[in-house]
Amino acid sequence: MRRDLLTAFRSMIVITILFGLGYPLLVTGVGQVIFPGKADGSLIKRDGAVVGSALIGQQFYENVIGANGKVEMSKGEPVTQPDPKYFQTRPSGTAPADNAAGSSFANYGPNSTVTLAALQGNVTTYLCMNTDVPYTTCDSKGFSASDTLYDPHVTSANQVPVDAADTSASGIDPDISVANAKIQAYRIAAVRHLSLATVDRLVAEYTTSRSLGFFGEPGVDVLELNLALDRISNGSH
């Protein structure tokens, strides 16, 4: 028995050193040499500063300006709202939203009233931003409805793409569907004074097609798209 124990511990310790340190560090070394940018998280820089990762969703929010012209505060934190000049990512189940240091599912069940309420909330937010349907719950966003501002086909929940209403799995989904992007494109074009064709062209440019033509689903990388938008309309924002 003592001999068996000795063998077991000796082998586990050897395995621990070889596969707990040797293997991951070897992969780290090789990975860092061959794919340095990717191994470090596909980080994106703008003007020398890292602004995020191409693979990680982030929030595109602005501070709410109160009636007195100052940033509204709540509990010492500025109150924020989705920034209409940026494409918006999918709903997130992390706290706070798009928390890349604490990923989490929302765990909304299929037959739950809690899920229904969450979906309705997401749909309302989306319609508020992307239609001129008068919703009592909509805040004034500082830009008024006009015929050219919104996708005329989107009038109710029935036209909202599921990815815009459903919470993502990781809470940091970097992508939205092409349908979702095309609806938001109307708003972006109006707010940024760009032609719809220009924005649509950018959407097409930043659409990742299916891997090898058929694995997965096409998606639009929101951070990269927003960065490209900023480059085009530099000076107008």
Site map (CB under 8 A) of another protein, residues 187-206, x = contact: --------------------
Q: Which of residues 126-155 bind another protein (CB under 8 A)?
A: none
Residue 120 in the binding site for another protein (CB under 8 A) = yes
Nearest distance from C-beta of residue 68 to another protein, angstroms: 21
d(CA 180, CA 160): 8
Q: Residue for token digits 């989306």?
A: 126
168, 185, 188, 190: residue in contact with another protein (rule CB under 8 A): 168
172, 188, 199, 202: residue in contact with another protein (rule CB under 8 A): 172
Residue 84 in the binding site for another protein (CB under 8 A) = no
Closest CA to 116 of 57, 172, 166: 166
Residue 73 in the binding site for another protein (CB under 8 A) = no
70, 73, 102, 155: residue in contact with another protein (rule CB under 8 A): 102
Please identify, using beta-carbon distances, which residue of 56 and 194 lies nearer to another protein. 56
Backbone angles phi, psi at 144, to 5 degrees: -95, 155
The size of the interface with another protein (CB under 8 A), counted in residues, is: 113
Is the N-terminal amide bond of 161 cis, ω within 30° of 0?
no
Please identify, using beta-carbon distances, which residue of 66 and 121 lies nearer to another protein. 121
d(CA 101, CA 157): 32
Rg (CA), the chain: 23
Q: Which stretch binds another protein (CB under 8 A): 1-9, 67-75, 144-152, 188-196?
A: 1-9
Which residues are 43's β-sheet partners?
Answer: 53
Sign of the alpha-carbon torsion through 116, 121, 125, 130: positive
